[in-house]
Chain A
Amino acid sequence: MTTELVASRPLAPGFFSTAVGRCGRCLVGVGPGWLLVCALVALLVLLPVLSLWAHALEGSGDLWPHLRTYVLPQAFANTVILLAGVGLLVIGIGTGSAWLVTAYEFPGRRFLSWALLLPLAVPTYIVAYVYADLLHPVGPLQTLLRDLLGIASPRDLRLWDIRSMGGCILLLGLVLYPYVYLPVRAMFSMQAAGVLDAARTLGAGAGRRFCRVALPLARPAIAVGTSLALMETLNDIGASEFLGVRTLTVSIYATWLNRSSLPGAAQIALVMLVLVVSLIMLERWARRRQRYADSPRQQRPLTRKSLTGWRWSLVTLAWLPVLLGFLAPALYLLVAAAKRVAFAGIEPQIVQQAFNTVMISAVATAVTVAIAFVLVYTLRQARSATGVRALVRIASLGYAIPGTVLAIGLLGPLGWADGALDNTALWLTGAGTGMVLGGTGFALVYAYTVRFLAIGNGSIESGFDKVPRSLDDAAQSLGAKAVCRARRVHLPLARPAMAAATLLIFVDCMKELPATLLLRPLNFETLATHLYGEAARGTYESGALAALVIVLAGLVPIILLSRYGHNAAR
């Protein structure tokens, strides 16, 4: 057996934190500098949450009973159904397709294996707009169908409306499953190879190998991927609102804007945050006794079996998410954009907008990945001490807060910090600084980092999990200091995970809309804000070109990501 699956009992909580607290130089210790950075990052992430807390404390007066009776039950039920549906769908598509492309050999396998990542480039709000168009009674598909059947009026052929809970689940699932597919494929292709081959030698059939060996092994990867996908679902406002699904997030907005109660909205947002955090903790608790590690030298890819008989139909099935989640919307956008360009020409600003989008996303990604590395490395040096782990978990909170709510939470601290800076500068030099944080690139980078740090932490942590502790100990016994170990040992070994994190975060930054809309500087448009400006007028066709550019720009990192995966798998 080449891979060890080690299940060990964890030490009593707090053991290492006290160990770390006691000594600066002992074996399991980390320098105070590292801890300080972790604490600072956690504080910066907590600031918007605290500011929301302050809003919530203002009290929503008599609104809460109203919300409890008329709004929350329905919104809560909708949210649960949506999450359950999307969860099942992304696990099904993500795990199934990952298994197919790693366990079997068939013509076009390598192509399919990276094509399955493509839907990642399509933002949820775009996929909703596109399908509402495509599937409408006067849209191309139903018109064609009626022509074929010889039916004159749409009234005589009522089909299922995509503007429904089912439609919302389907569309979100179709663009979010890559969050599961990506880590699970990596798990199958690298980690599970030895055990799976052993199972085969022992005579286990394909179904048994998948259910009894592959799935349990992939559970951490499935959990990480699914929680990212569900967090995206929870944050979605564009698609669910457009498709008429009233989720908790939609209710937060309506409470703030229509019921005119920011405190009420903050209260719902915080309740939602608590729910999300408990769910994540529950999942971690359920898997608390499992440790997954293997030795890097013995990694090798899985021996792939040729596809035979009925299993061929699975290949067709696996192409379906690519077709529906990427090809169909991308082609539709291409046609709409071509029509638009023929009709109105290309607006020259789109080049500037694309540049802005790439620049701000690149900076935010660099900052986020760097911080995530420092956090996760510190956690490792501290041997997962409870205190440090808590700091890292706090630093991941931002992903569980809807974009606009997070942005609202950031406004207060930014304004306050600007005031403090301005006054200090005035006092020291006699000249104020004005606003250097709020309404500048800093605010955007801050927001993106808070929002997407969880992706970085999760990816890099799972990358570090594959590095045996013995390497740390060896480096340390050879006298390497923390910084040196990070540079010479962990950074090179975590590079694949960092690359994956970089690309995922970059794509997410490019698609980010609500926080960008509220926090960006004057005269600063990104592709997403431009598209939204058009969509808000109801003419999203005029934004088709921007939508297409978002999708295309998202393709570049995805292709890089898939090529990286390939090289790693080879």
Chain B
Amino acid sequence: MFLRLLIRPLSLMAALAVAVPALADEVNLYTTREPGLVKPLLEAFSDRTGIKVNTIFMKDGLAERVSSEGERSPADLLMAVDFGNLTDLVEQGVTQAANSETLNEVVPEALRDANGHWYALSMRARLVYADKDLDLENFHYEDLAKPEWRDRVCLRSGQHPYNTALIAHMIARNGEEATETWLRGVKDNLARRAGGGDRQVARDILGDLCDIGIGNSYYVGLMRSGDSGAEQQQWGEAIQVVLPRFKDGGTHVNVSGAALARYAPNRDNAVKLLEFLVSEEAQALYARANYEYPVSQKAELHPLVAAFGELNVDTLPVAEISSHRHAASLLVDRVGFDN
């Protein structure tokens, strides 16, 4: 009886359980970047090379999945956002060196792993979104803790990787003690509980819930361009964008990047895809379609992004910022930033 109850669904399952065949002209991409963002790039790559790109988009657990698949993993290329996530992949031992002259040439040293395990493909700056009527010349990240901003600041969760990276950068610059004082100040200035996304900061400024906040650069492009609809365009238009700096440094940027999977079955194709992603054509796409800062000096910025002003990336090496990430996360807890 129970056999018959089980057999039918089992046979259906067997039909679904067809493993991906390792054809010669394919490359398998595991990505935590949203499919809508990378699709135009992958299509362009397939057009140029005839290599088919199979993708799976996931959010969390990329390293865990690849490492559980072990040497049988079909993964060729692992794409992720945030340098912390990229260094995590290397630490979990699921990557290998790409050994590509092209990559080393195009991607600046500060934006890649010292051993060639991961390469940044694009950059995003962490900016100030503010009410249009404010005068914010020479704004520093440190200023956000000043008492004049009491009940006027909107931010996403302090535990979000974008904010943890910023706080880690602050620790690297100013030390943990000063950063704690700063974070407590910012917490006191919050107009609402930390949460939501960066775009909600713009919307809350439009809704007069707050006057100032922090968000990533490409969101401004996505909103202002009207790509995400008329409503968001209104949010984007409601704010002014300022490129803040650290008191003794430049602007905090984070990266999106990719790493070659340790057991990549289509290694050559994966390297080709990586090299394509830093090519002039792809870098221009990153800038044009996603409103990101390209890593290649040759590609031009989107006019909406260029209008923010000149970006002076802080000079601290990514590896050093990344090393304070854990401390930053614990600091967020200690301060009770999200409570």
Contacts and interface: CB of A to CB of B under 8 A. Distances in A.
The answer to whether A and B belong to the same complex is yes
Interface of A: 34, 37, 66, 70-71, 74, 132, 136-138, 153-155, 161, 163-164, 241-244, 246, 253-254, 256-260, 262, 339-340, 343, 359-360, 363, 366-367, 370-371, 373-374, 404, 407-408, 411-412, 414-415, 418-419, 422, 433-442, 445, 482-483, 486-487, 517-525, 529-530, 532-534, 536-539, 541-542
Contacts of A360: 16
20 contacts: A37-B2, A70-B334, A163-B192, A246-B338, A259-B333, A260-B88, A260-B329, A363-B9, A363-B16, A366-B12, A370-B9, A411-B64, A439-B20, A440-B18, A445-B13, A522-B20, A536-B59, A537-B222, A539-B36, A541-B229
A367 B229 contact: no
Max count, chain B CB within 10 A of own CB: residue among A37, A435, A532: A435
Given A363-B9, A541-B228, A440 B55 contact: no
A251 B208 CA distance: 30
Interface string B1-38: 11001101110110111111010000010000011110
B336 interface: yes
Contacts of A254: 159, 329
Contacts of A155: 208
Contact of B333 (A70, A253, A537): A70
A70 B336 contact: yes
Contacts of B199: 538
A518 B60 contact: yes
Contact of B2 (A34, A256, A433, A525): A34
7 pairs of A and B residues whose beta carbons are closest in the complex: A441-B16, A244-B195, A137-B207, A415-B68, A411-B68, A483-B1, A366-B9
Contacts of B13: 363, 367, 441-442, 445
Given A66-B330, A244-B195, A538-B222, A415 B58 contact: no
A537 B198 CA distance: 10
Contacts of A440: 16-19
Nearest to B219: A538
A136 B203 contact: yes
Given A37-B2, A137-B207, A370-B6, A242 B34 contact: no
Contacts of A244: 157, 193-196, 338
Contacts of A257: 60, 161
B70 A74 contact: no
Nearest to B234: A138
Contact of B193 (A37, A163, A371, A373): A163
B238 to A, nearest CB: 9
Contacts of A259: 326, 329-330, 333
A363 B164 contact: no
A370 B72 contact: no
Contact of A374 (B2, B34, B332): B2
B197 A522 contact: no
B17 A442 contact: yes
A43 to B, nearest CB: 16
A259 B333 CA distance: 10
A487 B2 CA distance: 10
Contacts of B74: 435, 439, 522
Contacts of B336: 70, 74
B125 interface: no
A517 B59 contact: yes
Contacts of A71: 333
B263 to A, nearest CB: 11
B126 to A, nearest CB: 15
Contacts of A138: 203, 206-207, 234-235
Contacts of B326: 259-260
A191 to B, nearest CB: 28
B332 to A, nearest CB: 8
Contacts of A524: 56
A553 to B, nearest CB: 19
A262 B64 contact: yes
B97 interface: no
Interface in B100-145: none
Nearest to A377: B2
B164 A434 contact: no
A254 B157 CA distance: 11
A371 B88 CA distance: 39
A483 B4 CA distance: 11
Contacts of A242: 195-196
Nearest to B56: A522
B229 A520 contact: no
A132 B199 CA distance: 13
B10 to A, nearest CB: 7
Interface string B72-84: 1110000000000
A367 B6 CA distance: 7
Contacts of A436: 17, 19
B56 A370 contact: no
A243 B61 contact: no
A533 B34 contact: yes
Given A66-B333, A254-B159, A533-B36, A153 B208 contact: yes
A370 B60 contact: no
B311 interface: no
Nearest to B54: A522
Nearest to A413: B68
A370 B9 CA distance: 9
B57 interface: yes
B339 interface: yes
A362 to B, nearest CB: 8
Nearest to B198: A538
A370 B8 CA distance: 10
B65 interface: yes
A533 B57 CA distance: 8
Given A246-B338, A419-B72, 12 more contacts: A34-B2, A132-B196, A163-B193, A258-B159, A260-B325, A262-B64, A370-B2, A374-B6, A440-B18, A442-B16, A517-B57, A522-B20
Contacts of B197: 538
B69 interface: yes
Contacts of A534: 34, 36
B223 to A, nearest CB: 9
Nearest to A445: B13
A262 B235 CA distance: 38
Contacts of A523: 54-56
A145 to B, nearest CB: 13
Contacts of A371: 6
B209 interface: yes
B58 A517 contact: yes
A522 B28 contact: yes
